[in-house]
Amino acid sequence: MSKLLAPGDGLRDWWDSLSRVPKWGFGVLLFGALALLPLYTPPFLDTPGISFGGTMAQFAMVAIIAIGLNVVVGQAGLLDLGYVGFYAVGAYTVALLTSPNSPWNKMSATGPFSAPWAWLSCVPLAMAITALAGLILGIPTLRLRGDYLAIVTLGFGEIIRLMADNLSDITNGPRGLSQVAFPRLGESEKLPEGVFSNGNSSGHANYGTWWFWLGLVLIVAILLLVGNLERSRVGRAWVAIREDEDAAEVMGVNTFRFKLWAFVMGAAIGGLSGALYAGQVQYVAPPSFNIINSMLFLCAVVLGGQGNKLGVIFGAFVIVYLPNRLLGVHFLGINMGDLKYLFFGLALVVMMIFRPEGLFPARARLLAYGKAAREWLRTPPVEKESAA
Amino acid sequence: MIHECMEHGAQYACLAANINFNLEGLRIGFWQLTIDGLAWGAIYALVAVGYTLVFGVLRLINFAHSEIFMLGMFGAYFALDIILGFTPSGNAYNKGIALTVLYLGIAMLFAMLVSGSAAVGLEFIAYRPLRRRGARSLTFLITAIGASFVMQEFVHFILPHLIKGYGGSNAQQPIILVQPKTQFHVFNATVSNVTILIVIAALILAILTDFAINRTKFGRGIRAVAQDPTTATLMGVSRERIITTTFLIGGLLAGAAALLYTLKVPQGIIYSGGFLLGIKAFSAAVLGGIGNLRGALLGGLLLGIMENYGQAVFGTQWRDVVAFVLLVLVLLFRPTGILGESLGKARA
């Protein structure tokens, strides 16, 4: 473990020392405070020139992606550079099923999806189809390792985007699919399409804020799911594969199956985020799924700390918040918001040299017996010494 | 088109409408496609050498190599525009063969200088500290991605403030020194002066590189480090110096390829212009057998030609997909590539 102090190391020691109940208590308080942030925005946090609620909604989506990518990259150690492809599959599934531009539009008064429930019923479908996409991509590619896997996934991510671009009879090509369905909630005279529609654009509780709240709920659900997986046999297998694939194989871990499992899980979570994106923006077009976004998501995971699911949420916050905060801030005649990729690139290079595990590195834990074993190991063996 | 689909009813018919399967087009245009593919392939081959040499010596995919190439394009443009004083305009200059080749030579040298120094700088700033710390290969790859971002965004946003009219979101105004003109015919295919220029220049550079790696003392050092770094060090080869040289050679060739590329696509000088070409060059390196110099050259030519065939069969918009699919297929079925051997084993 690196001896360098990172922000929050002391905090993490304190957090690790807590038992489960206070952890939950603080967790609920933290998420509650986070949820209230768009309503009572502190002036130093506010993003001038762009809706703070919208920024937070974007953050929630990227956080979900980061958690999903963290399963693949951080837990199982598979470098996936084409993750944006799954995001695209999720978004396009919702858009294809509900956009009037699409030949597969199933949303009508008589069709399978009626307007109020269309988005919600598409979400599990989007996740299932993305998981299937993960399975289809995973089976041939996961026999490769390391750098090769990275390049092949990059190729696949690019192929998905190019298909969205070129199959214009279905995806409407570069023009994209518009008027995607979204949840209808709280419809009133002032907001005829509910609080989630982009007609709800004024004030603090605008549609961005509502999407942020929805995203937060999903984040908590996914965190619970992924946390439980981490502590299970599957999670232990992932860590074993990440640390040494050959050794894991020799010890009887079916590495291919667990790698595939990680890939599919990650894909499904990415698809969920894509479905959120399609619903919030109500418009899906190929440029949103450029490979550079894949790199950006990876950046969130690496910044936050590969393998640490709370760390990567912080990473996602940095990735989304900083560019929006710096938008419109000028320095030497350069718009600082434009320089986001430059900063992130620099951050990646510097980080890899000084703290390759990220800001909040995942700590190697005794996964099997958890906290009890850790404490038992930490207490000095007093009795044995006296006996000797 | 959508309405047409709805009328047909069956959705798979729509899918088919966007993908052709035109073998006749391939048969008719076969020689023309091959010759154009050779010109593309020559460019891929030169860039692929950079990937393959670095991989051979360090087992590292230098993801940022595409940006080294991109900087080379700007270097070539700078040389033509500021040093040689050509003004960017749509019209081609007609200076006669000798003078044109001289100007292009100067531009190429400058592009090589820019790319070579960028590659060595990248090695010094980003990769060397990682090697000192004995980082994992994943760490190297992420650093490469970061460096790639930095170089792209430098050209995108910082360069316009340093040199007026350079970089930014739009491509540079093209400077056309050579107007494409048919020189002669082979099997009904036309061969243009641009193609001749690219293929000959690439051929000379490839032969020089092959000579440098396989026949010189320096090259022996590179092969020794690729084969067994520890033993090479014990035999008095400076590993660090060899690594720097390897990056330098890769950078120089990427710079040369950058100039040739601007001959082929004069309007392609843009900050993001390296990415796609980089991936394709990497595919070429994998196709020929990564770590193998002659493999990279062969793989580049093959990829250029096959991409053209694929484009003829499936339609122009699927050109890039053909390259990616080829990459995936090669990695899945023969990850060692066609020639398969590594740099170290090539010649003892």
Residue found under tokens 């120089």 = B252
pLDDT tens-digit profile of A3-43? 455 556 677 777 777 777 888 888 888 888 888 877 777 77
Task: Classify residue A358 by its DSSP letter.
Answer: -
Residue found under tokens 């590292």 = B60
- Residue A155 domain boundaries: 9-387
Amino acid at A30: L
A374, pLDDT greater than 70: no
Closest CB to B327: pick one of A103, A155, A345.
A155
Q: Give B285's contacts (C-beta < 8 A, 6+ positions apart).
A: B48, B49, B51, B52, B55, B295, B296, B299, B300, B337
Which residues of B fall within a CB distance of 8 Å from A341? 149, 152-153, 156
Which among A352, A353, A354, A357 is the top mutation candidate for probing chain B, defined by the most B β-carbons within 10 Å of its own β-carbon?
A352
Residue A3 lies in a domain: no
Task: Classify residue A188 by its DSSP letter.
Answer: -
The CATH code of the domain that includes A345 is 1.10.3470
pLDDT the model gives residue B179: 75
Does B139 sit within 8 Å of A150, measured CB to CB? Answer: no
Residue A177 lies in a domain: yes
pLDDT the model gives residue B72: 93
Closest CB to A140: pick one of B6, B152, B332.
B332
> How far is the alpha carbon of B115 from chain A, nearest alpha carbon, in Å?
19
Does A103 sit within 8 Å of B11, measured CB to CB? Answer: yes
Which residues of A fall within a CB distance of 8 Å from B11? 103-104, 170
Taking CA atoms, what residue in A is nearest to B128? A353
Task: Please report which helix (H) or strand (E) contains residue B36, including its range.
Answer: helix B30-58
pLDDT the model gives residue A111: 64
Q: How many domains does chain A have?
A: 1
pLDDT tens-digit profile of A284-322? 888 888 888 888 888 888 888 888 888 899 889 888 888
Q: pLDDT by residue for chain B (348 residues), tens digit each?
A: 334 444 444 444 445 556 777 777 777 778 888 888 899 999 999 999 888 888 888 888 888 999 999 999 999 988 888 777 777 776 667 777 788 888 888 889 999 999 999 999 999 998 999 888 887 777 888 888 889 989 998 998 888 888 887 877 888 788 777 777 777 777 777 888 888 889 999 999 999 998 988 888 888 888 888 888 888 889 888 888 889 999 999 999 999 999 999 888 888 888 888 888 888 898 888 888 877 888 888 999 999 999 988 888 887 788 888 888 888 888 778 777 777 755 545 443
Residue A161 lies in a domain: yes
Q: What is the mean pLDDT of residues A173-179?
A: 81
Closest CB to A356: pick one of B126, B139, B318.
B139
Q: What is the mean pLDDT of residues A193-198?
A: 71
A272, pLDDT greater than 90: yes
Taking CA atoms, what residue in B is nearest to A341? B149
Q: Where are the domains of chain B?
A: 40-164+175-346
pLDDT tens-digit profile of A131-159? 999 998 888 888 777 777 888 888 888 88
pLDDT tens-digit profile of A56-109? 888 999 999 999 999 998 888 888 888 999 999 999 998 888 887 777 777 666
Does A155 sit within 8 Å of B324, measured CB to CB? Answer: yes
C-alpha torsion angle, residues A126, A131, A132, A137 (rounded to 10): 130
pTM, whole model, 2 decimals? Answer: 0.83
CA distance B64 to B150: 10
Taking CA atoms, what residue in B is nearest to A336? B157
Does A156 sit within 8 Å of B2, measured CB to CB? Answer: no
Closest CB to B149: pick one of A79, A168, A341.
A341
Residue A4 lies in a domain: no
Closest CA to A107 of A279, A337, A360: A279
Count chain A–chain B contacts defined by CB atoms under 8 A: 151
